[in-house]
Chain A
């Protein structure tokens, strides 16, 4: 059982780095740079046509793998129920798990469907693209905001007794 938990946690951390790393890349690098690239007349097509679809592919599947491996880890420890019910000391990791769950929802229900319109992967009018871009940006920024307490509660779990007493 220990080896299963160690491997599970390893996968969880690797997938989480991929997910949140790309989230920070989108929010701290790509989005702020696109406005400047367009204003300067630099070839900005490479991002929506080549880089963003590939980045979003890794982003959304890493998000799902992070959640599944995280749930599997809590289940293996026997605390998945208490964590998601926010009971006792399990509420520390449970808060992180709920924030991660909200973030996964945002990825698959708000960010990805709207990015498909913005990037031209599905048909959309200019108005739908503009609205989709706004929803995707706010959902992505919401996830960036939520990632800060999410990571705090993830790393705080093992230190709960001292940190939360």
Chain B
């Protein structure tokens, strides 16, 4: 599998996907138990 960071498009898509994942981590795990 190609490394998504080898292309600008892959880098941006990875960043957006990571944003969604971290949003749910913060909302459901960190704020909820904080």
Contact = CB atoms under 8 A, between A and B. Distances in A.
Nearest to B33: A88
B31 A92 contact: yes
Given A28-B8, A32-B8, A142-B5, A164 B31 contact: yes
Q: Which secondary structure dominates where chain A touches chain B?
A: helix
Contact of A144 (B11, B26, B30): B11
Given A32-B8, A141-B11, A88 B23 contact: no
Contact of B19 (A86, A138, A149): A149
8 contacts: A91-B26, A92-B26, A95-B26, A141-B5, A144-B8, A148-B16, A153-B22, A164-B26
A147 B26 contact: no
The 9 A-B pairs at the shortest CB distance, nearest first, are namely A148-B15, A88-B34, A91-B30, A141-B5, A149-B19, A145-B15, A164-B27, A145-B14, A87-B34
B4 to A, nearest CB: 8
A32 B23 CA distance: 31
Interface of B: 3, 5-6, 8, 11-12, 14-16, 18-19, 22-23, 25-27, 30-31, 34
Sorting the interface of chain A by its residue count into under 10, 10 to 19, 20 to 34 or 35 or more gives 20 to 34
Interface of A: 27-28, 32, 86-92, 94-95, 138, 141-142, 144-149, 152-153, 160, 164
Contacts of A86: 26, 30, 34
A27 B27 CA distance: 31
A145 B26 contact: no
Contacts of A32: 8
A145 B5 contact: yes
A89 B11 contact: no
